């Protein structure tokens, strides 16, 4: 596992140099967590809709290999995924789901981490198809939890890393372990943090301060506190109704918090230089073909 991650770091650097910078203005963000079930998918789906509501074009890439469920949260039946584009000759529009406010969702499937099995011809065909998606401002990737080759790979492919944790010590230690791996293999030198399920504003601040103190003491990683999300029953109701909380309960505390996080992210957009969606998938192919 560590060998693989080490190779990944070298590859991430190589790929950065190799992929031509076609500067399509797409910002690519990976959302992940150490522990599972801490709220990644709900954050991703609602953040994507919030940014789209504010007039930007967003695509969610559900990269939780084999377990993706962003489609379910938006009330869609999972049908096809990227595998069908690569292996079954489907087109992007057959697989892409159009969600609320026109937010797009591309279900990942398992194909991208088994890139060795994809012939050069199939890869080229896929990249040519994916180029159609260049009219986007943000791609938000929802990954699985934990330290795995695929999660580290997706982090390496993106510009920004957002890590989600709850105030629970188990979630915090797992988040720390993930950042430790990201730092150790020099995959990223900065990360943004969301504290989810806070019981008060004070708890959010205290949790972040504790976490960032530990990270600053032991890791070479710049942290930024992106925001907190309250523990809110409305979120649970929204999941049951399969209607994202930002739409079903726009006045709930989590919705207001997501809106302010969306504003913060949109305010940071200027700093970036993107590779476009084509660049993203070229990186994914290079990283996962080893
Ligand atoms: N802010 C919150 N308030 C109340 N409940 C929450 C909150 N965030 C998450 N939950 C609960 O946690 C559950 C899991 O959330 P979610 O599916 O977004 O987590 P995840 O990190 O994507 O999980 P996985 O690691 O399995 O992909 C939700 O269905 C909900 O019941
Ligand atoms: Mg999830």
- Looking at residue 202, its pLDDT comes to 97
Compute the distance between CA of residue 28 and CA of residue 273 in angstroms, rounded to an integer: 10
Compute the distance between CA of residue 22 and CA of residue 17 in angstroms, rounded to an integer: 13
Residue 66 φ then ψ, to 5°: 85, -15
User: Which of these, 218, 217, 256, 252, lies nearest to 235 by C-alpha position?
Assistant: 252
- Looking at residue 290, its pLDDT comes to 62
104-107 and 97-98 strand pairing: antiparallel
Q: 145 CB under 6 A from ligand 1? A: yes
Q: 143 CB under 6 A from ligand 1? A: no
Q: 95 CA to middle of ligand 1, Å?
A: 25
Q: 35 CB under 6 A from ligand 1? A: no
Name the one residue in this structure whose structure tokens are 């910078």. Answer: 21
Tokens matching residue 6: 């080490």
Residues of the chain with pLDDT under 70: 1-24, 65-66, 78, 111, 113, 269-275, 290
DSSP secondary structure of 64-115: -TTT--HHHHTT------HHHHHHS---HHHHPEE-GGG-EEEE--SGGGGG
Residue 198 φ then ψ, to 5°: -75, 145
DSSP secondary structure of 161-217: EEEEE-SSHHHHHHHHHHHHHHHHTTS-SEEEEEEEEESSHHHHHHHHHHHHHHHHH
- Looking at residue 29, its pLDDT comes to 93
Say what the pTM is. Answer: 0.89
Q: 72 CA to middle of ligand 2, Å?
A: 10
Q: 3 CA to middle of ligand 1, Å?
A: 32
Q: 231 CB under 6 A from ligand 1? A: yes
* DSSP tag of 37: T
Cβ neighbours for 128, distance < 8 A, ≥ 6 positions apart:
none
Q: 104 CA to middle of ligand 2, Å?
A: 17
Compute the distance between CA of residue 15 and CA of residue 156 in angstroms, rounded to an integer: 10
User: Which of these, 81, 39, 63, lies nearest to 144 by C-alpha position?
Assistant: 63
Q: 238 CB under 6 A from ligand 1? A: no
* Nearest Cα residue to atom 10 of ligand 1: 39
Q: 244 CB under 6 A from ligand 1? A: no
Q: 37 CB under 6 A from ligand 1? A: yes
Compute the distance between CA of residue 142 and CA of residue 60 in angstroms, rounded to an integer: 7
Which of 31, 33, 35, 39 maximizes ligand 1 atoms within 8 Å of its Cβ, making it the mutation to test the pocket? Answer: 39
Contact 163, 33 (CB under 8 A): yes
Name the one residue in this structure whose structure tokens are 């996962």. Answer: 288
């Amino acid at each position: 596992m560590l060998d693989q991650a080490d190779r990944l770091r070298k590859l991430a650097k190589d790929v950065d140099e190799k992929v031509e910078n076609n500067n399509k203005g797409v910002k690519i963000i990976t959302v992940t967590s150490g522990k599972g079930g801490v709220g990644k998918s709900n954050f991703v789906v609602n953040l994507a809709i919030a940014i789209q509501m504010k007039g930007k074009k967003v695509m969610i890439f559900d990269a939780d290999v084999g377990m993706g469920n962003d489609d379910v949260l938006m009330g869609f039946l999972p049908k096809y995924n990227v595998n069908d584009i690569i292996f079954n000759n489907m087109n992007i529009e057959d697989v892409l789901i159009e969600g609320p406010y026109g937010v797009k969702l591309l279900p990942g499937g398992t194909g991208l981490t088994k890139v060795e099995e994809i012939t050069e011809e199939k890869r080229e065909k896929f990249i040519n198809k994916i180029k159609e998606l260049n009219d986007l401002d943000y791609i938000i990737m929802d990954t699985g939890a934990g330290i795995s080759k695929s999660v580290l790979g997706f982090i390496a492919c993106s510009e920004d890393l957002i890590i989600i944790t709850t105030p629970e010590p188990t979630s915090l230690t797992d988040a720390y372990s993930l950042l430790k791996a990201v730092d150790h293999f020099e995959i990223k030198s900065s990360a943004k943090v969301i504290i989810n399920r806070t019981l008060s504003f004070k708890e959010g601040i205290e949790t972040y301060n504790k976490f960032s103190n530990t990270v600053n003491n032991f890791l070479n990683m710049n942290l930024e506190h992106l925001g907190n999300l309250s523990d809110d029953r409305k979120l649970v109701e929204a999941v049951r109704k399969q209607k994202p909380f930002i739409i079903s309960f726009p006045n709930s505390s989590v919705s207001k918090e997501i809106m302010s996080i969306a504003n913060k992210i949109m305010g940071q957009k200027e700093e970036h230089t993107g590779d476009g969606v084509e660049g993203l998938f070229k990186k994914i192919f290079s990283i996962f073909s080893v």
